């Protein structure tokens, strides 16, 4: 079985501030981990993914995430928030090429 927990359903930061969105997972096998962003009434866009190899993963739009096996975490960060980063963010886990399980999502608000 696999599951994802996103801590904090709402995160609010000021423009230019650090963004930290938390994700913890459980998986009985080495996981594949993903972060997606969703804008209103749109589908999901992949920000970044971890499968194997380097544990620090860089994605699009300046986001990055670090896979920490000992903490079963895959937190998403961005050094400086931009207004355009305001959206819904989903963490997901899958096993190999199997179906993905999504977290409940975190709404990111960026204040001017």
Partner 1 sequence: GAVVSQHPSRVICKSGTSVKIECRSLDFQATTMFWYRQFPKKSLMLMATSNEGSKATYEQGVEKDKFLINHASLTLSTLTVTSAHPEDSSFYICSARDSAGQGSEQYFGPGTRLTVT
Please identify, among the stretches 19-27, 68-76, 77-85, 88-96, the one whose residues bind partner 1 according to the rule CB under 8 A. Answer: 88-96
Strand 31-38 with 87-95, pairing? antiparallel
31 near partner 1, judged by CB under 8 A: no
5 near partner 1, judged by CB under 8 A: no
Residue of 36, 63, 67, 74 interacting with partner 1 (CB under 8 A): 36
- What token pair was written down for 73? 């975490």
CB 61 within 8 A of CB 81: no
CB 108 within 8 A of CB 85: yes
90 near partner 1, judged by CB under 8 A: yes
- What token pair was written down for 70? 């000992």
Contact positions vs partner 1 (CB under 8 A): 32, 34, 36, 41-46, 49, 51, 90, 94, 96-97, 99-105
């Amino acid at each position: 079985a696999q599951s994802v927990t996103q801590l904090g359903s709402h995160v609010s930061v000021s423009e230019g501030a650090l963004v930290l969105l938390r994700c913890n997972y459980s998986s009985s096998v080495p996981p594949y981990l993903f972060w997606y962003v969703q804008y209103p009434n749109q589908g999901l866009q992949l920000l970044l993914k971890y499968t194997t190899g380097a544990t620090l993963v860089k994605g699009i739009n300046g986001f990055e995430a670090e896979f920490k096996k000992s903490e079963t975490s895959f937190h998403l960060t961005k050094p400086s928030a931009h207004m355009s980063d305001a959206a819904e963010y989903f963490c997901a886990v899958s096993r190999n090429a199997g179906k993905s399980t999504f977290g409940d999502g975190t709404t990111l608000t960026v204040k001017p």
